[in-house]
Amino acid sequence: ISLSSAGTYTYTLTCTNSSGSASDSVTVNAQTQTVPTTTTTTTPTTTFEEWTQFAHDPMRTSYTNQVVPPPWKWKWSWNGPDANGNPVPGKFRLPRNSQPITGGGRVYIAAGSRGVYALNNSNGSVIWNVNPGGARIDSTPAYDPQSDSLFVLSSNGTIYKLNASNGSIIASYSSGQIIPKGETNFQDPNQTLPLPPLLYGDRVYFVAGTKMFALNKNNLSVIWSYDSGGSPFVTPVAYSPSYNRLIAVTRDLFVHAVDANSGSLVWRTKPTIRNYGDPGESNQSLAQAEYGWPVIAERTGLVLIKYRLDWNALFNPFSIWPPDNSIIRSALEQNPQYQALFALKLSDGSKAFTTNIGHGGWGDGGYLPMGNIPAVKSFPDGSEVAYLVIRGHQAINTVWDSLYGELVLDNSNPNFQPGYVRWIQYGNYGWYNPPLSNIMVPATDEQPYVIVAGNYLFGGHWILGQALEIKDRSSNLGTYTNPIKSGPLPHIVESTNLVPYNSSHYSNSMIAATAGGTEWRAVPYGFYIYNDSVGKIYDQYWSGYATWVVSNNTIYFLSTDGALVALEQGNPTQLTEIRKLTVDENLIKNISSLASRLLAQVFSSPQKEIQPEDLSKNFDEYVNKEVFLRGKITKVVTNHRGTFIKLHQTPYSPTIIIKPDVYSKFSEPPFKIFKPGMNVKVKGILTYYRGDLAIYITDPS
């Protein structure tokens, strides 16, 4: 709504169809007032290093030396909020594991069926958007600063070299291979696995199908190709400069080490005792490598490999993991089926030691996806550690035993063996006494993904982003009772109802991710993306998890719903006055209410029973409307978030969700009432839950 001057305005809305028409109106007051907006100043850091490819570098360490000291302020956002904190028109979801990279004053991001975007790093505006080949770009591209070019892998198996300034194609190479499908959801059934290309020296490396390729980066001519022998590659490749070896994992769980000069196999091993397959809820013999990636610890000569285990691995070999390294080590070695992270020697692929890392992720309803992947940091004294979410906490229940930690990779600290973990303070574990709300590392079935910038540790969760500064990691620190010392940095949440929305997107006091009043995830202070009326926007545009990137003197946060936020150094409360016409803050709500009343008058019709087939054809017609569904229960799963019921074995069948806060309305807990094989009738609003369709039940009737 655009107004030219102050005054009282009346808006009349009329809806007409074959049944007739209806009109209604709303009156609003518009006035001029002073509106705050942030200033634009940038203070360069002493170290300049860009994040030009997935996980920062060829080793996939997810570590950068670049630090942007606080305070931070909002710089710009893309595919996120408009000026009022509502989703921008045309907002869309991004592929899983998509990560922003930078180069040439631009930010690049893979966008699935929409191809790849290049944004202006100064203001977030779109410079160009192309989709070479017309298929999908589900893999993070790689930027080459020497030639100002961008390497993009398409789902059609072709890699493209683009002019990074305008997106035009410079060269291409068709691998003749098919990129495997990944885990998809209802909204994005054609998504393929993320297999980002790797740049090192004058070569670009990538995997597609059963092959690994080395190409000349100048003209994309083939230097060599390696064939796995039958099983497709499901992780991107990582590179060790000192060993001159490329590492990637195939679907059959084998790790391949390939000589970067010749393309010949150096070693091949399967470190887990499990075999390939979907481990589901409780299959202890199966695992997957999809959506993980190898991480090279160059100084210690290791590659870290993560596998996805079954849901019940959350509770084994401990229901609550003890904060004791020796007990954890003993249990994992006696129960190797629960080992999820492996440290392999780059020299021969043998296991270097057992890592004291329990399985975790951001799953639900009996499903646990790939958990967080380590970030590796090397120190000036020659030591090297990995940062990630660890388990071992005196928790309130079986899924609240996760904390941030260091994984020891060498013998530099006499107090901790290689493979042991060191605990790091966070929130109510070390910062606040007495505890402050529920500021804590998310639950073990909500583990964030980590990156590290200098001494700053960032965690990307599905509703928020956490950030902390490691202040003291003296060798005597790191036990559970005497952890590594840290302090809070500005956090970020999807939305909050604790402070009024304003253009700074900032609160200097505690806020919480509230999702329209449906959640409560507190953070010490920081930024919010949307106004809280967006509710569970992450469910509608679900991409799996959020991620941070630090590059080009900017901190980027890519939310689960696909909003890219750029923060820079500056005072978030330092404002410049501008004159702008503003409208009564209830205008949007009034117009929405008006439209709802009219639509109800004109389009009211008898309630219709729907079938999954109806949703496969026109799901947009039913979303956010009351629907009626009947069927036989095929599966019931319960956890601390509620009871999850499936009625049909089809991709289009909504999940029926009953939250714990309505259990009291039932004669007994719903998971005791509803069993597989029962026939039920369900009525409720059709909405989203983590990208898939869902119906929330609020009453037994």
In this prediction, residue 642 carries a pLDDT of: 87
> What is the rounded distance in angstroms from the CA atom of residue 248 to the CA atom of residue 238?
7
243-284 per-position pLDDT tens digit: 999 999 999 999 999 999 999 999 999 999 999 999 999 999
Residues 6+ positions from 26 with CB-CB distance below 8 Å: 10, 11, 13, 590, 591, 594
* β-sheet with 554-558: strand ranges across: 72-78, 564-569, 554-558, 547-551
> What is the rounded distance in angstroms from the CA atom of residue 250 to the CA atom of residue 236?
10
In this prediction, residue 40 carries a pLDDT of: 33
Closest CA to 244 of 225, 227, 226, 263: 263
C-alpha distances (whole Å) from 26 to each of 29, 263, 280, 594 are: 10, 70, 52, 7
For the chain, give the percent of residues with pLDDT over 90.
Answer: 70
Q: What confidence category does residue 588 fall into, taking pLDDT thresholds of 50, 70 and 90? A: very low
Q: Is the pLDDT score of 60 beyond 80?
A: yes
Looking at 204-208, 515-519, 546-550, which range is the least confident one? 515-519
596-629 per-position pLDDT tens digit: 444 444 444 455 677 666 665 566 677 778 888 8
> What is the rounded distance in angstroms from the CA atom of residue 602 to the CA atom of residue 156?
46
> What is the rounded distance in angstroms from the CA atom of residue 463 to the CA atom of residue 441?
13
Contact indicator for 71, 520 with CB cutoff of 8 Å = no
Q: Is the pLDDT score of 229 beyond 80?
A: yes
Identity of residue 398: T
Contact indicator for 423, 392 with CB cutoff of 8 Å = yes
Angle at 133 between CA 130 and CA 138, to 5 degrees: 70
Query: For residues 472 and 364, which has the higher predicted lDDT (pLDDT)?
Result: 472
Residues 6+ positions from 135 with CB-CB distance below 8 Å: 154, 155, 156
Rg for the chain (alpha carbons), in Å? 26
625-671 per-position pLDDT tens digit: 888 888 889 888 887 778 988 887 666 678 899 988 889 999 999 98
Q: What size, in residues, is the chain?
A: 701
Residue 589, Ramachandran bin (φ over 0: left; ψ between -120 and 50: alpha; else beta):
alpha
Q: Which residue has the tokens 């589900």?
A: 138
Identity of residue 608: K
Q: Which residue has the tokens 């360069």?
A: 44
Closest CA to 62 of 104, 106, 101, 117: 101
Half-sphere exposure of 579 (CA within 13 A, CB side): 5
> What is the rounded distance in angstroms from the CA atom of residue 376 to the CA atom of residue 636?
40
Report residue 614: phi and psi, to 5°.
-60, -40
In this prediction, residue 23 carries a pLDDT of: 56
In this prediction, residue 333 carries a pLDDT of: 98
In this prediction, residue 43 carries a pLDDT of: 33
> What is the rounded distance in angstroms from the CA atom of residue 369 to the CA atom of residue 281?
11
Mean pLDDT of 131-145: 97
> What is the rounded distance in angstroms from the CA atom of residue 594 to the CA atom of residue 83?
22
Q: Which residue has the tokens 């990779």?
A: 409
Q: Is the pLDDT score of 236 beyond 90?
A: yes
Q: Is the pLDDT score of 25 beyond 60?
A: no
In this prediction, residue 16 carries a pLDDT of: 56
Q: What confidence category does residue 534 fall into, taking pLDDT thresholds of 50, 70 and 90? A: very high
Looking at 323-337, 391-405, 465-479, which range is the least confident one? 391-405
For the chain, give the percent of residues with pLDDT over 70.
Answer: 86
Contact indicator for 152, 137 with CB cutoff of 8 Å = yes
> What is the rounded distance in angstroms from the CA atom of residue 129 to the CA atom of residue 150?
13
In this prediction, residue 694 carries a pLDDT of: 87
Query: For residues 41 and 164, which has the higher predicted lDDT (pLDDT)?
Result: 164
In the chain, what are the domains? Answer: 1-39+574-604 (no CATH), 63-573 (2.130.10.10), 611-696 (2.40.50.140)
Residues 6+ positions from 607 with CB-CB distance below 8 Å: 626, 628, 683
Residue 471, Ramachandran bin (φ over 0: left; ψ between -120 and 50: alpha; else beta):
alpha
Query: Which of 433-437, 512-516, 599-603 shows the highest mean pLDDT?
Result: 512-516
Q: Is the pLDDT score of 157 beyond 50?
A: yes
In this prediction, residue 41 carries a pLDDT of: 31
C-alpha distances (whole Å) from 68 to each of 222, 341, 550, 551 are: 40, 31, 8, 9
For residue 148, how many other CB atoms are within 10 A of its CB?
Answer: 14
Q: Is the pLDDT score of 594 beyond 70?
A: no
Closest CA to 249 of 280, 213, 188, 294: 294
> What is the rounded distance in angstroms from the CA atom of residue 338 to the CA atom of residue 310?
9
Contact indicator for 340, 313 with CB cutoff of 8 Å = yes
Can you give the three-state secondary structure of 167-181, one letter per residue? CCEEEEEECCCCCCE
404-421 per-position pLDDT tens digit: 999 999 999 999 999 999
C-alpha distances (whole Å) from 164 to each of 56, 102, 132, 135, 531 are: 18, 10, 13, 19, 34
Helix (H) or strand (E) holding 538: helix 537-540
Element counts in the chain: helices (H) and strands (E): 5, 49
Query: Which of 8-12, 529-533, 571-575 shows the highest mean pLDDT?
Result: 529-533
Closest CA to 66 of 43, 42, 50: 50
* Secondary structure (3-state) at 533: helix
Looking at 299-308, 312-321, 348-357, 599-608, which range is the least confident one? 599-608
Which ranges constitute the DSSP H helices of 583-660? 587-603, 612-618
In this prediction, residue 395 carries a pLDDT of: 75
Q: Measured on CA atoms in the order 326, 330, 331, 332, is the torsion positive or negative?
A: positive
464-501 per-position pLDDT tens digit: 999 999 999 999 999 999 999 999 999 999 999 999 99
